[in-house]
A and B are shown apart, each in its own frame.
Chain A
Amino acid sequence: MRHIISLLMENESGALSRVSGLFSARGYNIESLTVAPTEDATLSRMTIVTSGTDEIIEQIIKQLNKLIDVVKVLDLNDGKFIERELMIVKVKANAQYRDEMKRMCDIFRGRIIDVSDSSFTIELTGSSSKLDAYIESIDKAAILETVRTGASGIGRGDRILKV
């Protein structure tokens, strides 16, 4: 099953390689991994999207906790959470595609952030599966370029990951 794991770690050089190295050394999947400093500059927050059986996810959480630089680990799938990912996609917007691309962008509640004679650059946010759905819905031949941030997640309501 797909799990989104959030963790807080010391914002030190090499911290990212400790996490990515752990995943490759132990053969765990990484679907996506995002990291940035938090409002407290000494801490980084990382979101890892992974998949595996319950036993594997349990080991991943334990192994992450075992890393000396990791302060806190939370499996967002243990409760209710919100997931968002940002995708920027450049699509063909010549006469053949222009109307359709505008319409699909509206349907998926995206925003056109750059326009040229022949292309639109569209910003889309949502769960990773929503972004997948957008890609599925438009004509593949119209896609010029895509870039995705990987998922970020946060617990709903009182679920807070803080030191």
Chain B
Amino acid sequence: MNSNHISGAEIVIRCLHEEKVKFVFGYPGGAVLNIYDAVFKQNKFKHVLVRHEQAAVHAADAYSRSTGKVGVALVTSGPGATNAVTGIATAYMDSIPMVIISGQVPTYAIGQDAFQECDTVGITRPCVKHNFLVKDVKDIASTIKKAFYVASSGRPGPVLVDIPKDITAEKYEFSYPKSVHLRSYNPIIKGHSGQIKKALSLLLSAKKPMIYSGGGVVLGDASSQLTKFVRTIGAPITSTLMGLGGFPASDKQFLGMLGMHGTYEANMAMQECDVLLAVGARFDDRVIGNPEHFLSKPKTIIHIDIDPSSISKRVKIDIPIVGHVVSVLTELNDLLSKEKTKQNISLKHWLKEIDQWRSTNCLSFKNDKKLIKPQFVVQTLHQVTKGDAFITSDVGQHQMWAAQYYPFDKPRRWINSGGLGTMGVGLPYAMGTQLAHPDAMVACVTGEASIQMCIQELSTCKQFHLPIKIINLNNRYMGMVRQWQEFFYGNRYAESYMEALPDFVKLAEAYGHVGMKIENPSDIEPALKEAFSKKLKERLVFMDFITDQKENVFPMIPNGKGLSEMITAEDL
């Protein structure tokens, strides 16, 4: 044996060093013991021990969402891998670049129904961008290189590398490839120039132009190019849930979020426009509702996306532009700077029409002296944090209220599960975000149902001193389920009431954190100020806000309806 030879486990670690990985989120187990032994012997990255593998993947996912870098998780075979699946599927639906390394039983035991064996590559196949089973120690380095490349290029996504235990024990020389080429994988970066020119001339001659931006703008780090372009052409812009922060929410041109719980003005403008530019968005069911209704008002649609399969998937596109958002928007900006007049047609009438929709003030709500309104908690959170916090959320009413009442001016500040809609992500998302940004304010806006799905992570937060502020909007219901049952199931609240809730204050204290219970509207601001004060700067604060049980999220487009068929608070 050559003296340069190191174990497969050490090769795995060296690969992660070469990729400049700062954090690995994981949980040890039999099949990854060799790798963990190599983790023990290094100090270039920090290993974050979670309390459940699902949280490892969510935290790595949030690390990626909040930084743009590839998130890394390490789990064992069998249940370690199956626990990771929810996290992987969540990242896949939102196109988050991640590498998940899973241990596998030794190669000679594969297929024998060995202890903690499962077909990890088979189970994860439908929810990864790609996956690999490494069968030879010689292939570890090149496979991990490929995994990072595939995860972070093109339309990003999670990539899983499954490594049998005997492979991590065998020895081989370490050599990390500088670059990687896959003949079967060549993502398109540059958009078609002819199409880009056509798109610009259409936009400049539109009477009612509209921009619709999505998660692709955030993932592609294109918000400065988008902002420049939109400000120059002066058209109104809306954003999907995933795109929030891609264009500054405080800008007058921004109409708020669109979709099922979008603003009246955003949904109406989306429906009534004559030329629509979609940037890194995918016309999904929660965004445009019924596609036939959406197209019943004729419009020319331009779609910029890095993934050709996103184009004309739900809605027929007139001008498709396949390419990286930064590249395409830069080209659009260059063309625009050469134009003599920025607008061929005055947008005065269009903007006036939009102002009329805006004047409905669709997000207004009646505050109450006795009952805490969840919207008001989020508004106060925005004010206390001066709009500069990283906000993670779980899934449900609180998620929509966070999206509606916490305007984001910067990208990568809003961390939530849009595509898969995974309850339980909020706390692990806050962990990944806080580790990536140790000095930043990180708040997890959640509900008493969601938070209990990964509550065990309060322990991880203690171990790693994560001063997350948990904003628990506690209405004693699975709020969004209750809302649908109220609207569409004759107030039959089947299994949506949260009985036997824990005392969250005591629970937080049991984990070594600070707990607060807030029951009066007048206590909201002082409590939030205290939680974000210097005194509690180093502490996790669990804030249990006892909110109005009957509050609903408005506006709302009922399932299967069109953008202009919203229900507003006043309709009921």
Contact = CB atoms under 8 A, between A and B. Distances in A.
Interface of A: 9-10, 13-14, 17-18, 21, 25, 55, 58-59, 62-63, 65-66, 68-71, 163
B184 A71 contact: yes
Among B122, B182, B308, the most chain A Cβ lie within 10 Å of the Cβ of B308
A69 B184 contact: yes
Given A14-B121, A21-B125, A68-B150, A163 B313 contact: no
Nearest to B125: A21
A3 B133 CA distance: 33
Given A14-B121, A21-B126, A63 B309 contact: yes
B204 to A, nearest CB: 30
A18 B248 CA distance: 40
B308 A62 contact: yes
Interface in B288-342: 307-309, 311-313, 316
Interface residues of B, number: 19
B314 to A, nearest CB: 10
Contact of B309 (A55, A59, A69): A59
A118 to B, nearest CB: 42
Nearest to B130: A68
A63 B313 CA distance: 10
A55 B312 contact: yes
Contacts of A69: 130, 184
Contacts of A71: 183-184
Nearest to B126: A25
A58 B308 CA distance: 10
9 contacts: A14-B122, A14-B125, A21-B125, A25-B126, A62-B309, A63-B309, A65-B308, A68-B129, A68-B184
Contacts of A18: 125
B156 to A, nearest CB: 13
B40 interface: no
Nearest to B121: A14
A9 to B, nearest CB: 7
Contacts of B183: 71, 163
Given A21-B126, A70-B184, 18 more contacts: A9-B184, A10-B184, A13-B133, A14-B122, A18-B125, A25-B126, A59-B313, A62-B308, A62-B311, A63-B309, A65-B308, A66-B307, A66-B309, A68-B130, A68-B182, A68-B184, A69-B130, A71-B184
Contacts of B185: 68
Contacts of A58: 312
A21 to B, nearest CB: 6
Nearest to A55: B312
Q: Which 8 A-B pairs have the closest CB atoms?
A: A62-B309, A68-B130, A71-B184, A62-B308, A68-B185, A25-B126, A66-B309, A63-B309
Nearest to B316: A55
A150 to B, nearest CB: 23
A71 B182 CA distance: 9
B182 to A, nearest CB: 7
Contacts of B133: 13-14
Interface string B115-126: 000000110011
Nearest to B128: A68
B134 to A, nearest CB: 12
A99 to B, nearest CB: 52
Contacts of A59: 309, 312-313
Contacts of A163: 183
